[in-house]
Amino acid sequence: MAMSDLIEKFLLQMLEEMGGVAELQRGDLAERFSCVPSQINYVLTTRFSPEHGFLVESRRGGGGYIRITRVSPEPTALLMHAINAVGDAIDGPSAAAFLKNLLQAGVLSLGAARLIGAALGDAALRAVPRERRAAVRAGILKQCLVHTYHSL
């Protein structure tokens, strides 16, 4: 695995531990990985760009620093929120809205969202009396989201 990948991994883990913001010194990090300082910039520009959902600030001079902030909300937080919000029963359109939101946020892949959607549809719940479907749907949806949470 290339060094840039290792540095990326390190920074991601750091962000995870620090709850979304990591502050570091370029020289220190370069020394830890035995590379030139500018390689840190390379990693930052290729893997922590805004399109990747990060904000990078820095300051030069004595006491300088580089701060990386995860700008797109963390998937775990979004999932947690969604799981709590589902409740004990949910109708089809509402469930679909949940899935759409999570898809939009990049927490669920298109395939996963559609798959869950299939599991929640009336066709899948044929064996459940109509008046109980909302409750069953909620159970399935929550469990799917919990699973997704655990697989992050």
Closest distance of CB 70 from DNA, Å = 18
Kindly write out the interface string for residues 37-66 of this chain, putting x where it contacts its own copies by CB under 8 A and - elsewhere. ------------------------xxx---
Which residue from 78, 131, 70 is spatially nearest to 100, judged by alpha carbons? 78
Number of H helices and number of E strands within the chain?
A: 7, 3
Tell me which amino acid residue 22 is. Answer: A
| Share in percent of the chain as helix, strand, coil (round to 5) | 60, 10, 30
From its own copies, DNA, none, which one binds at residue 148 (CB under 5 to 8 Å depending on kind)? its own copies
Kindly write out the interface string for residues 36-75 of this chain, putting x where it contacts DNA by CB under 7 A and - elsewhere. xxxxxxx---x-----------xxxxxxxxx---------
From its own copies, DNA, none, which one binds at residue 37 (CB under 5 to 8 Å depending on kind)? DNA
CA distance linking residue 29 with residue 110, whole number of Å:
36
Which residues contact DNA (rule: CB under 7 A)? 2-5, 24-27, 35-42, 46, 58-66
